[in-house]
Amino acid sequence: MNKAYLGLGTNMGNRVKYLRDACVMLSNHKNISICKISKVYETKAWGYTNQDDFLNICMEIDTNLEPEELLEVCHNIENQLKRVRTIRWGPRTIDVDILFFNNIASDDKVLTLPHPRIKERAFVLIPLMDLNKELIIDDKNISCYLSKLNKEEIEEVKEINIAFSI
């Protein structure tokens, strides 16, 4: 069985519904078992900042899929939830990224692992810390990268519990 960590984000429409729908789709997949889901965080846009705030979560899954097969599942969920890619880092109904897959380090042009910008994104590292504080990138704990980032624009949304609804 493979262990993977996914990052999910949304900033369009009913953000909670998009997160829940993506989580339900993942949990209903016959080759995926959700182990843990992080708390929900609201974050300011990153990259392209002229857009609404995001809701972000991370999840730990077990899967017998290979990395490329899991990526296809993630893209299919994005397509089913009407994600449109027009602006890089722009608004989206849902984004489902593979952050880690086992201990694979790959610089493949289709799927780079760990996720290539994970070290720069507190909105990913904070929910990952909810799941596993021992994750390592380039021989450093993820907390090391998080300590160097601005965390002020990321807030836990206590009234939303995605894990409870799955």
- Residue 139 among the catalytic residues: no
- Number of Cβ within 10 Å of residue 28's Cβ equals 9
DSSP labels for 47-88?
A: SS-SSPPEEEEEEEEEESS-HHHHHHHHHHHHHHTT----ST
Pick the catalytic residue from 20, 62, 83, 117.
83
Strands 154-156, 54-63: parallel, antiparallel or unpaired by DSSP? unpaired
Pick the catalytic residue from 21, 53, 88, 97.
97
What the block records as the tokens of 52 is 């609404």
- Residue 52 among the catalytic residues: no
Pick the catalytic residue from 21, 92, 117, 139.
92
> Please, are residues 14 and 22 in contact by the beta-carbon 8 Å criterion?
no
- CA–CA gap between residue 102 and residue 23 (Å, rounded): 20
What the block records as the tokens of 122 is 């507190």
- Residue 20 among the catalytic residues: no
Q: Which residue's entry shows tokens 């599942």? A: 73
- CA–CA gap between residue 16 and residue 109 (Å, rounded): 31
Pick the catalytic residue from 95, 107, 108, 139.
95
- Residue 15 among the catalytic residues: no
Q: Which residue's entry shows tokens 């909105």? A: 123
Tell me which residues are annotated as active site.
83, 92, 95, 97
